[in-house]
């Protein structure tokens, strides 16, 4: 998974090999560290942001979930971990967007 992330960040997002390597490993470990002062925002690259978000979601689930997704679809469908994680993401992302926008700009996004 790390190799795929490095290659995607290097060749799809256009990051340097150093940045691709470091951001892939920290995204998979969900550490959130960066080689830049402004983190991923310094790249101003939507492809890099999407790839890093996908790596963080993949890193947030256990190896058993990845194995079940690749080898045993029946076990993956029964596992509550990915369902719970995506439920939390679906609820928390709009809430964070709403409250961040309200706090930063003083109005509600509808």
| Tens digit of each residue's pLDDT, the chain (110 residues) | 999 999 999 999 999 999 999 999 999 998 888 999 999 999 999 999 999 999 999 998 888 888 888 888 787 788 899 899 999 999 999 999 888 887 777 766 55
Tokens 């700009």, located at residue: 105
Indicate yes or no: pTM above 0.75.
yes
- Integer CA distances (angstroms), 105 to 10, 60, 87, 92, in order: 34, 31, 28, 19
Identify the CA nearest to 2 among candidates 49, 57, 59. Answer: 59
Q: Residue 27 burial (CB < 10 Å; 0-12/13-18/19+)?
A: buried
CB 39 within 8 A of CB 49: no
């Amino acid at each position: 998974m790390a190799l795929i992330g490095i290659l995607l960040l290097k060749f799809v997002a256009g990051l340097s090999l150093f940045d691709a390597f470091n951001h892939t490993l920290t995204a998979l470990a969900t550490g959130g560290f960066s080689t830049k002062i402004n983190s991923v925002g310094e790249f101003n690259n939507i492809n890099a942001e999407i790839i890093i978000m996908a790596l963080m979601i993949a890193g947030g689930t256990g190896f058993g979930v990845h194995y079940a997704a690749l080898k045993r679809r029946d076990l993956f469908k029964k596992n509550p971990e990915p369902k719970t994680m995506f439920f939390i993401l679906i609820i928390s992302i709009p809430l964070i967007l709403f409250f961040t926008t309200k706090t930063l700009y003083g109005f509600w996004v509808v």
